[in-house]
Amino acid sequence: MSVDLAAIGVATVSVTGTLGAAVVTQFAVLRGKRIEGENQRLEHDDERRDAARRAAADTMRSTYADLNSATRAYRTAIRDQLAGFTDEPDVERVELARKAFHDLYAAAQMIMSEHALEVAGEVNLCLGLGYGAWRNARIPEPELDAWFAGPGSEAAWLLRHALRVDLGVIEPDPKTADRLRTLRAQRIDLFGDDPDNPRRG
């Protein structure tokens, strides 16, 4: 009888141990799957964030490149009229260039750094006032042509520099702050200190 009890006890312990091992193994498998699933989720989250960052960087580069081109095209379109590079006035070309610039400027404002935004705002004023003076003949054409050839060219350079800094292509240049102040002073000197009510004309 005692032998049978001992055998039963051994069998019970054996079965319990086997069941316990199976439970522990199953728990370990489930835990491993949960950890693997969490790791995959984190990996996918990282991939999505990286993809979003790459898409944002691509959008920024594309928008900035287009804005740089539009700035040059806008300035050049007006200057060609002033310098007599075209036989007939081409107002439509200027208007299209102006619209393209304004559309891209509006889009770029959403992603620009504060410094780039300051530069772009000044460039927008410089080009806009020059355009208004050209359309309304408020300033003699030779003087306005000299504006677009000198300060207008500087405005385009300053914007391009600010955009390249934003993109991390070049380091900031401390001298650009002085150049921006000079451009602002030249703009005020020619057009007045109130963009809505120029002194000239």
Structure confidence by residue, pLDDT tens digits, 98-130: 999 999 999 999 999 999 999 999 999 999 999
On the CB side of 17, CA atoms within 13 Å amount to 6
Read off the pLDDT of each residue in 161-186 and give the average, rounded to a whole number: 96
Query: Could you tell me the pLDDT band of residue 12, with boundaries at 50, 70 and 90?
Result: low
Q: Please name the helix (run of DSSP H) or strand (run of DSSP E) that holds residue 177, with its range, or none.
A: helix 175-191
CB atoms within 10 A of CB 180: 20
Query: Could you tell me the pLDDT band of residue 199, with boundaries at 50, 70 and 90?
Result: very low
How many Å from the N-terminal Cα to the C-terminal Cα in the chain? 124
* Of 93, 100, 149, the residue nearest 126 (C-alpha): 149
Read off the pLDDT of each residue in 183-187 and give the average, rounded to a whole number: 97
Q: DSSP letter string over 52-104? A: HHHHHHHHHHHHHHHHHHHHHHHHHHHHHHHTT-SSS--HHHHHHHHHHHHHH
pTM of the prediction? 0.73
Q: Which residues contact 70 (CB under 8 A, 6 or more apart)?
A: 97, 100, 101, 104, 105
pLDDT for residue 14: 61
What percentage of the chain exceeds 70 in pLDDT?
Answer: 85
SS (H, E, C) 20-58: HHHHHHHHHHHHHHHHHHHHHHHHHHHHHHHHHHHHHHH
Most confident of 34-38, 88-92, 152-156: 152-156
Q: Return d(Cα 40, Cα 60) in angstroms, integer.
A: 30
Read off the pLDDT of each residue in 43-48 and give the average, rounded to a whole number: 76
| pLDDT for residue 173 is more than 70 | yes
Query: Could you tell me the pLDDT band of residue 138, with boundaries at 50, 70 and 90?
Result: confident
Read off the pLDDT of each residue in 79-92 and give the average, rounded to a whole number: 82
Q: Supply the mean pLDDT for the chain.
A: 86
pLDDT for residue 19: 61
Answer whether 124's CB lies under 8 Å from 184's CB. Answer: no
